[in-house]
Amino acid sequence: MAGRRIVRVGLLLPFSTRPADASALYSAAELALFDHGGPNMLLIPRDSGGDEAAAAAAGQALVRDGADIIVGPVLREGVEGVAGVARRERIPVIGFSSDRTVAGNGVYLLSFQLEDEVARLVSFAASRNIRTIALLAPENEYGRRVDQALRAEAQRRGVTVVSSVLYPRTDAEAMAAAGRIAQQLQVTPAQGIVIAETGTALRVIGPSLVRAGVNPRQVQLLGTSAWASGDAQREPTYAGGWYVAPDPTVRTEFERRYRQAYNVEPTRLASLSYDAVSLAALLSTDVGASGLSRTAIERSDGFLGSDGVFRFRGDGSIERGLAIMEVRQGQTVPIDPAPRRFTAPAS
């Protein structure tokens, strides 16, 4: 590569702490390099470690390596660690945390934002005249964020949250919580119930609601993108349920390319690494590292990625085009498809 104007993409991935995730993310980055990168693009992988200090040290090493943009880390602490280093050197960061508090001033989060998911779900429910909603969610950071986002968006949309039950995340507690919320809804009815769950907890909640007197034909069951794991499709109770998700038709092509290259299925997060490196390749084509400016990264028409259209706001958070899916007899179909381009200014 001697004599070329090299674009150096630093990859901060959790090789020591989450090796399976790191391997998939690195493979996806490599695939993006072959699909979209030119001969002048170089990937520089480093271990992000397990805490803020380790990520900061790895970020400093990438600065010495001459990185023009840093992709990763995955966790909030890692993004926070590298952010200070990168901002001093005016190197953009595209991290994968979903915590908006670590974004901004040149740090972008290419992730799946709960707040946007909830906003899309509540907006669609309101358009279908669902004006009273209840919530079942685990008593952890995820559940508390869903609860907070639901209340904020409901207020904006003129929707009332009539009940919210958060529970310790075990199947037994999820079952008991379903019974409690069903009792509450006998006193204060709701037109919809948001169930922010996946796995076996999701599969026990549906039948538990029915046994406690909730009729899914009269009360609309609603879900976050956690339902996209397939558990809702395997439980007959959720037939007719709605959930929010990235554009599934676009992701199919990424999964095909990944399987073709590596003969394994990609992890859910692998597409994030693919899209980040593809974005760096797109912006640096013909102009080199000078194309990796904040203005270019924050362009209002956004980018088409492996999970559909997305763009970055000025505060570093991501805005995605999301679909509303309906569960039908073991499959899902889009009843309100994701947009393929942005027509309004960034929110």
- Three-state DSSP at 343 gives coil
Asked if the model's pLDDT at residue 1 lies above 70, the reply is no
CA distance 252 to 342: 21
Residue 38 confidence (pLDDT) = 86
Rounded mean pLDDT of 21-27? 97
pLDDT for the residue numbered 310: 96
Distance CA 59, CA 64 (A): 9
pLDDT digits (tens, 9 = 90+) for 241-285: 999 999 888 899 999 999 999 999 999 899 999 999 999 999 999
Instruction: Give the per-residue pLDDT at 160.
Output: 98
Residue 75, pLDDT above cutoff 80: yes
Structure pTM? Answer: 0.89
Query: Per-residue pLDDT for 347 more than 70?
Result: no
Q: What is the pLDDT of residue 158?
A: 96
Mean pLDDT for the stretch of residues 86-112? 96
Q: How many residues does the chain have?
A: 347
* Mean per-residue pLDDT, 139-160: 96
Cα 248 vs. chain centroid, distance in angstroms? Answer: 13
- In tens, the pLDDT along 168-178 reads 999 999 999 99
Sheet strands side by side (includes 160-167):
160-167, 132-138, 192-195, 220-223, 242-246, 322-328, 331-336
Which of 77, 60, 76 has the alpha carbon at shortest distance from 109? Answer: 76
Mean pLDDT in residue range 335-344? 89
Looking at the predicted structure, is the pLDDT value of residue 229 above 90? no
Domains and CATH numbers, the chain: 7-112+249-320 (3.40.50.2300), 114-246+323-336 (3.40.50.2300)
pLDDT at 344 over 80: no
Give me the pLDDT at residue 330, please.
76
Q: What is the pLDDT of residues 186-215, one digit of tens each?
A: 999 999 999 999 999 999 999 999 999 999
Give the residue-averaged pLDDT of 212-236: 94
230 falls in which pLDDT band (50, 70, 90)?
A: confident
pLDDT for residue 51 is more than 90: yes
Cα(148)–Cα(115) distance, integer angstroms: 9
What's the rounded mean pLDDT across residues 326-342? 90
Give pLDDT, residue 343: 79
For residues 254-278, b (16+ Cβ closer than 10 Å) or e, as one string?
beebbeeebeeebbebbbbbbbbbb
pLDDT at position 196: 97
Flag whether pLDDT at 2 surpasses 90. no
The pLDDT value recorded for residue 248 is: 85
* Residue that wins the pLDDT comparison between 5 and 1: 5
